[in-house]
Amino acid sequence: MKLTKEQLKEFDESGYLFFPGLFSEAEAAVLKTEAQNVYASDRKEVWRESSGVARTAFAAHTYNEAFKRLGAHPRLIEPVEQLLDGPLYMHQFKVNAKAAFDGEVWQWHQDYGTWKRDDEMPEPRAMNIAVFIDDVTAANGPLLFIPGSHKQGVVAAGHDLETTSYPLWTLDRETVSKLAEKGGCVAPTGPSGSVLLFSSLLVHASPANISPFDRTIVYLSLCHVDNHIRAFNREEWIAHRDFTPIKSLPDDCLEKMSKSNEHVAAASVS
């Protein structure tokens, strides 16, 4: 999937692009089922909220076939290769579960700020892709973006080790307010299968989910292979150390899994 000149201009101005329904309902359903399987597993990569529900599952592409395929899907890899002008490796892969009623906040932050401070990634030649595998609405904790904030470079941040179970370099209220005075604040929403592509410098957050509806999103953090991290301060399954360029799979790789699951279901019924 290649971006148009208009999309490239929009990304440069706002720092993100939104593709509603980029994956079909069937493809999203495969990912939803596999996310539930991952969350139910007893693995060190699955972090939980204080309530016990899953918060995020790291590196699922290394131990789950569906997420392995998603991590090399051409609809995700090709536009980022275009924006970063070259081959990519997977710096981080997360399946974030903002569970109904119990999904906690993700504070205001920049992802590259963390990657620079914790992992010594040289430059912000890295990007995020978010794949909705639930419908994301105004009610269930959508992502909040400050458009244009990626143009500010790395913003001063403090290391928050207490608010949630996941440590994060976060921005204070004054900084966020000043950025929002200029760029505003948006919350892209859409059906399962929708995709957000956003700069690693874009300031973003998400509120707690007190609705009765889950909000599960898969995040691929993709980095140019020449820009790989220099420090290995975090677990390998949090900040990956395999800098091998990703080779895109066929476009129907998830669709094939969906059809295979349908055949299995039909056989079990018959």
Radius of gyration of the chain from its Cα atoms, rounded to whole angstroms: 18
Distance, CA of 184 to CA of 187 (rounded, Å): 10
Our CA dihedral for 241, 121, 48, 50, rounded to 10 degrees, sits at: 150
What is the spatial distance between Cα 140 and Cα 104, in angstroms, rounded to a whole number? Answer: 11
Let me know: does 184 contact 147? Beta carbons within 8 Å. Answer: yes
- What are 218's strand-pairing partners? 95, 131
Number of domains in the chain: 1
Angle at CA of residue 223, ends 248 and 208, nearest 5°: 100
Strands 144-145 and 204-206: antiparallel
User: Under a CB-based contact definition with an 8 Å cutoff, are residues 239 and 118 in contact?
Assistant: yes
Residue 257: the pLDDT is: 82
Whole-number Cα distances in Å, 139 to 133, 142, 191, 251: 16, 8, 13, 32
Query: Nearest to residue 32, comparing CAs of 222, 218, 249, 197?
Result: 218
Q: What is the CATH number of the domain that holds 40?
A: 2.60.120.620
Tell me the residue range of the domain where 172 lies: 5-269
Structure confidence at residue 160 (pLDDT): 63
Exposure string of 189-220, with b = 16+ CB inside 10 Å and e = fewer, is bbebbbbbbbbbbbbbbbbbbebebbbbbbbb
Per residue of the chain (270 residues), give pLDDT as tens: 899 999 999 999 999 999 999 999 999 999 999 999 999 988 999 988 778 888 889 999 999 999 999 999 999 999 999 999 999 999 999 999 888 998 888 889 999 999 999 999 999 999 999 999 999 999 999 999 999 999 999 988 777 655 555 667 889 999 999 999 999 999 999 999 999 999 999 999 999 999 999 999 999 999 999 999 999 999 999 999 999 999 999 999 999 887 666 544 444 444
Query: What is the CB neighbour count within 10 angstroms for residue 28?
Result: 25
8 A C-beta contact, residue 231 and residue 142: no
Half-sphere exposure of 236 (CA within 13 A, CB side): 4
Q: Considering only CA atoms, which of 128, 132, 96, 141 is closest in space to residue 202?
A: 128
Q: What is the pTM of this model?
A: 0.90
